[in-house]
């Protein structure tokens, strides 16, 4: 899995606590990561419609939806792509003893199992929102975190 997913999720949590638009370089500096590469992933979020970008001197990124309407799954799919991890190549239709296409009216058992597992994975990610993550931050490192963040963003 792409490491940019982690960056994107953390950035969304920060954006949910910011008052106005936050530029990409500021987000990168806050997390101590590469400015230019983070910008690439933020572009992916923008293409997916999760964040809205404004240009100009006071521009930056803003969450388009309320934090409790943005799921972790949304972010993961936006950054890593929405294609399933497992792609069935139908090898049962190859070789000297093939199961003809007419006999394969539904996906083979292997594909069904992998698909079900991916659905379970997605369902688990869909249950958690950015708002939930923000709450967990305050629970983990203290309630003063986000006010300090806002101060740092303003200064």
Partner DNA sequence: GCATTCATACTCGGATATACTCTGTCCGAGTTCTGCAGG
Partner DNA sequence: CCTGCAGAACTCGGACAGAGTATATCCGAGTATGAATGC
User: Would you tell me which residues interact with DNA (CB under 7 A)?
Assistant: 2-4, 23-26, 34-37, 39-40, 42-43, 46-47, 53-61, 80-81
Rounded Cα gap, residues 64 and 34, in angstroms: 24
Chain center to CA of 3: 11
Member of 58, 96, 143, 154 binding its own copies (CB under 8 A): 96
117 belongs to the binding site for its own copies (CB under 8 A): yes
Question: CB under 8 Å to 67, separation ≥6 — which residues?
Answer: 12, 16, 129, 130, 131, 134
When CB distances are held under 5 to 8 angstroms depending on the partner's kind, the choice from its own copies, DNA, none that residue 147 binds is none
Rounded Cα gap, residues 133 and 146, in angstroms: 12
Chain center to CA of 19: 21
Sign of CA dihedral 148, 15, 13, 32: negative
65 belongs to the binding site for its own copies (CB under 8 A): no
When CB distances are held under 5 to 8 angstroms depending on the partner's kind, the choice from its own copies, DNA, none that residue 146 binds is none
Member of 33, 39, 48, 131 binding its own copies (CB under 8 A): 33
131 within 8 A of 9, measured Cβ to Cβ: no
Question: Considering beta carbons, is residue 48 or 133 the nearer one to its own copies?
Answer: 133
58 within 8 A of 11, measured Cβ to Cβ: no
For its own copies, the binding residues (CB under 8 A) are 1, 3, 5-7, 9-10, 13, 29-33, 72, 85-89, 91-92, 94-99, 103-104, 106, 108-110, 112-114, 116-125, 128, 132-133, 136-137, 140-142, 145, 148-149, 152
């Amino acid at each position: 899995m792409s490491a940019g997913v982690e960056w994107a999720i953390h950035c969304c949590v920060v954006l949910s606590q910011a008052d106005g638009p936050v530029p990409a370089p500021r987000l990168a500096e806050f997390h101590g990561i590469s400015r230019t590469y983070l910008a690439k992933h933020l572009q992916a979020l923008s293409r997916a419609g999760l964040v809205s970008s404004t240009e100009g001197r006071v521009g930056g990124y803003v969450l388009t939806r309320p934090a409790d309407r943005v799921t972790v799954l949304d972010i993961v799919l936006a950054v890593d792509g929405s294609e399933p991890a497992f792609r069935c190549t139908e090898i049962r239709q190859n070789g000297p003893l093939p199961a003809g296409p007419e006999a394969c009216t539904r996906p083979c058992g292997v594909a069904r199992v992998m698909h079900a597992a991916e659905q379970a994975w997605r369902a688990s990610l869909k249950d958690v929102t950015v708002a939930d993550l923000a709450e967990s931050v305050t629970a983990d490192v203290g309630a003063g975190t986000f006010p300090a963040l806002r101060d740092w963003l303003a200064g």
